[in-house]
Structure 1
Amino acid sequence: MDIEPLFVAINSSHVFAASRDNFLIWHFMTPKTQSTLGISGSRHRKERLYHVDDTPSGVAEVIQDLDKSYQPNANMTATGDPICCLAASEKVLVIGRESGALQRYSLPQVALVQRYTFTSRPQSLAINCTST
Structure 2
Amino acid sequence: MTTPDQRRMALIQWVEHLKQGGVISSRSNWCAQATASESAVREFIKGGTDSLNESTYKKLSVIAGVTPDDLRLPPSNSALRESDADDTQESSLLDDLEVIGAHDPDERANYEAMIRNRAAAVRARRQRDSE
Greater relative CO, 1 or 2 (CA 8 Å, sep 6+) = 2
TM over 0.5: no
Q: Which has the higher strand share?
A: 1
Q: State TM-score, norm by structure 1.
A: 0.22
TM-score normalized by structure 2? 0.22
